[in-house]
Amino acid sequence: MCVCVCLRRVLDSQINGTVSYTPPVIRVERDELLSVGIRHGLLLATCRPIPVEASGSVIGEGSVGSEPATLFRAEFYQLAGSGRIRYPTVHL
């Protein structure tokens, strides 16, 4: 219940999202083993707040000059993974 009330106070009809990261480093270390690494990245979601009364009814639309509220922010460092790749077999 509290989660719904809290979200109702910050959500509007449009959520803005940002995904940014440093260029990935891609390597083939051995036969069929691909490794990918990203040094730093950011996931960010924001929205413009809507004024809400305690009863939950909307007072009005968020003003154009109001600051966006952050819904979540996630940063990552040294993200890496690897896996085997296979080339398709072509029969002529």
What pTM was computed for the model? 0.54
pLDDT digits (tens, 9 = 90+) for 21-35: 999 999 987 778 889
DSSP 64: T
pLDDT of residue 63: 52
pLDDT tens figures, 47-57: 876 666 666 66
- Residue with tokens 């890496």, as numbered in its chain: 80
Bigger pLDDT: 53 or 78? 78
Q: Are 41 and 25 in contact (CB under 8 A)?
A: no
Give dist(CA 72, CA 17) in Å, integer: 10
Task: Please give the pLDDT value at position 65.
Answer: 55
Q: What is the pLDDT of residue 17?
A: 87
Instruction: Tell me the average pLDDT of the chain.
Output: 75
Q: What is the pLDDT of residue 16?
A: 81
Residue of 83, 82, 49, 77 whose CA lies nearest to 64: 49
Q: Is the pLDDT of residue 1 over 80?
A: no
